[in-house]
Chains A and B, each alone.
Chain A
Amino acid sequence: MMTRLWRAAPVLVLLAAACGGPPAPAATTPAPAPSDALRAAADSAAAARRDSVAAAARADSLARAERERVRADSVRMAVQHISSDTAPQAVAGGLAAADSALLADAIHFDYNRADIRAGDQAVLDRKLAVLAAHPRLEIQIAGNCDERGSDEYNLALGERRAAAAKRYLVAHGVAAARVAIVSYGKEHPLDPAHNEGAWTKNRRDDFVVTKGAR
């Protein structure tokens, strides 16, 4: 349910914006009818808990939709002047150096693939532990590619690579709202050489902490 809501929110906002209407009312699920709620309250405490979970999910969804709306506004503002894309400010607040290092560990990909390698699951699992211990931490995953293929195709591929890591983290309990993704395509190679050694290094996800533990 969480996952579905999370996916639905940006889509609804997108469609509303696309039709040129007023700013989208935050994407919400319809509130249960009063009679339903009354019956639920009367019937059992379990149903009440379910409702409270649903309410929390709605609140969470509302908060995310609001955050997305603010971010979309900032994107529209940003194109009105000459602004460079800047890497998010890495935040270390409240984290031990060892934890920071675990979170920053890159993962790598096979040529033209976006699935998580078996060996890299352990890298992500170590991040899971840090993220679980610091529930206020937020991160950005940046997908990167080697130079083969067009500039544009690699932007799409980089997006999928970042999304794959996010999917893994979310599937293992990290709230989707804590993980942003971005694609740099082949714009930021670690090694600019034209050989397999460089390509192997450049096919990667980078991880940056964007909101601290405190």
Chain B
Amino acid sequence: MRGGALAAAAAMLAAPAVLRAQDSTGSAPVGVRVGITYTPGTRPSVAVLPVATATLDSVRAVLQRDLDFSDRFEVLMPPASVAMRGGAPNYPGLTALGTDLAVAVVAGPAGDVDVQLHDVRTGSIRSHLSVTLPAGGEPLRQAVHRAADEVVRWVTGSPGVAATAILFVSDGRLWRVDPDGQGLANVPAAGRPTLSPAWSPDGRTIAYTAFVPGGRPLVLQDLASGSREVVPGTEYGVNITPEFSPDGRRLAYAHGDENGTDVYLYDVARRCCVTRLTVGRYYDNLSPTWSPDGQRLAFVSSRPGSPQLYVMSADGSGQEALAPFDYGSTGQSNGPEWSPDGQAVAFHREVGGVPQVFVMDLATRTVRQLTGEGRNEDPTWAPDGRHLAFASTRGGVRQLWIVDLETGRLRPLVTTGGARLPAWSPRRTFFSEAR
């Protein structure tokens, strides 16, 4: 465990040059991944096999893209003449391609679909999953996303993040999109603009700031029923940056009034009791983000004159500067989000007046800059701890992009102009649950 942490830290330190190169060239250099099933510097290749029917082909297309976007494989799409023989995988042909693994999508007997992972060397099915496919549309795609995440787990030991969703704000309204850029849909929400969406750990409730006449309350919204409630006390003042605790029982947020903005906790589980964690007078404390063990909160404080990153215990004690900064010369730092593995905090910091995404390694308390082209803001971690979504103007207008920290691969997520404030969901969400 400790060795793994150190190796991950080393990998993070090694990566900036790779990512900066990515920024300017758009190439996808291979990074270093230290893990159970990888050889450093290489990714396993997976062949996605051709299928017999158009329906299966649409399934295969989603699956193939999910595997590609997991950034854990070299995904091959060999033609049937190479990959298949007599309706079955052509193991010698696949071996000749240099791949050890093949994924097949096969029609099952009862209208279901069998997703199979073949071990090419032994010529056998290593793992498989029977999927009952919904008729089509988003439910079908979600079913395939879940299968793709299983395939990733079979190979790497931890599941993919295809069956997740990203909430974001565009034109003052709330939207969701799948990590593959599909399934874009408005999420009806109170207020306009609606800002700072956040997910509960079970993926069934969201919290956000609603600009409504007379107030800036925090709203808790159940995704299934659409029902909404106001966090008590947030009818007053300005209320921003909600974040659920990892156990989902508490909500940390910032409440501001005429004396400044401070971090508070609301007991969501008991629907009771607000605790104040910071006391700033004429400066602001906001943007709390939980450590995965729920013991600590990183947050933004303007106590040094400009907003910078701080950290405290979840009871408000032990407040101290988190990310290094030079008083008066380091640009303001905002939007922190603690990584799912607990080892890093992503945030954005102004460099020459332009925001750029940074990641701080907590073991060494060193920061590295991930972006350099355009304005890049508000990074949010995927539950796999290796992908970040963020808002960027690198394409001309501000939209969302995803970067894989381990390969440096970068891709646009949505082309909706003005997209901002992304929040990546936990692994299970209301949207991805079988319906």
Contact = CB atoms under 8 A, between A and B. Distances in A.
Interface in A1-57: 7, 10, 13-15, 17-20
A179 to B, nearest CB: 10
Given A112-B332, A150-B348, A156-B284, A80 B228 contact: yes
Nearest to B259: A163
B213 A159 contact: no
B195 A79 contact: no
A42 B79 CA distance: 105
Given A15-B274, A20-B271, A163-B259, A183 B210 contact: no
A152 B334 contact: yes
Contacts of B240: 152, 155-156
A157 interface: yes
B192 A153 contact: no
Interface stretch (B53-61, B69-77, B82-90, B250-258): B250-258
Interface in B180-238: 188-193, 195-196, 209-217, 219, 228-230, 232-233, 235-238
A159 B190 contact: no
Interface string B374-407: 0001100000000000000000000000000000
> Which bracket fits the contact residues of B?
35 or more
A82 B214 CA distance: 14
A76 to B, nearest CB: 5
Nearest to A166: B258
Nearest to A88: B213
A160 B212 contact: no
A76 B257 CA distance: 18
B232 A17 contact: yes
Contacts of B216: 155, 182-183
A76 B254 contact: no
Interface in A145-159: 148-153, 155-159
Contact of B350 (A10, A74, A149): A149
Most buried by B among A76, A86, A167: A76
B45 interface: no
B218 to A, nearest CB: 9
Given A79-B217, A150-B378, A153-B307, A20 B235 contact: no
Contact of B256 (A79, A151, A155, A166): A155
Interface string A136-150: 000000000000111
A183 B236 contact: no
A130 B241 CA distance: 38
A186 B328 CA distance: 23
Contacts of A13: 236
A86 B190 contact: no
A72 interface: yes
A203 to B, nearest CB: 14
Contacts of A149: 307, 332, 334, 350
A181 B261 CA distance: 14
B377 A84 contact: no
Contacts of B353: 148
B261 A156 contact: yes
A76 B230 contact: yes
B286 A152 contact: yes
A191 interface: no
Given A85-B212, A151-B421, A75 B228 contact: no
B262 to A, nearest CB: 9
A68 interface: yes
A158 B286 CA distance: 14
B236 A81 contact: no
B375 to A, nearest CB: 8
Nearest to B215: A75
A103 interface: no
B300 to A, nearest CB: 6
Contact of B241 (A15, A76, A152): A152
B287 A152 contact: yes
A159 B274 contact: no
A153 B190 CA distance: 21
Contact of B258 (A71, A74, A163): A163
A193 interface: no
Contacts of A155: 195, 209, 216, 238, 240, 256
B434 interface: no
Nearest to A20: B272
Nearest to A77: B212
B38 interface: no
Interface string A77-100: 011111111100000000000000
A13 to B, nearest CB: 8
Question: Top 9 A-B pairs ranked by shortest CB distance?
Answer: A72-B235, A85-B211, A150-B334, A75-B215, A78-B212, A79-B190, A163-B258, A156-B261, A18-B274
Interface of B: 172, 188-193, 195-196, 209-217, 219, 228-230, 232-233, 235-238, 240-241, 254, 256-261, 266, 271-274, 282, 284, 286-287, 300, 302, 305-307, 332, 334-335, 348, 350, 353, 355, 377-378, 420-421
Interface of A: 7, 10, 13-15, 17-20, 68, 71-72, 74-76, 78-86, 112, 114, 148-153, 155-160, 163, 166-167, 181-183, 187
21 contacts: A13-B236, A14-B232, A17-B233, A17-B235, A19-B272, A68-B236, A74-B213, A78-B212, A79-B210, A79-B212, A79-B219, A82-B190, A114-B282, A149-B307, A150-B307, A150-B348, A152-B209, A153-B300, A155-B240, A160-B284, A163-B259
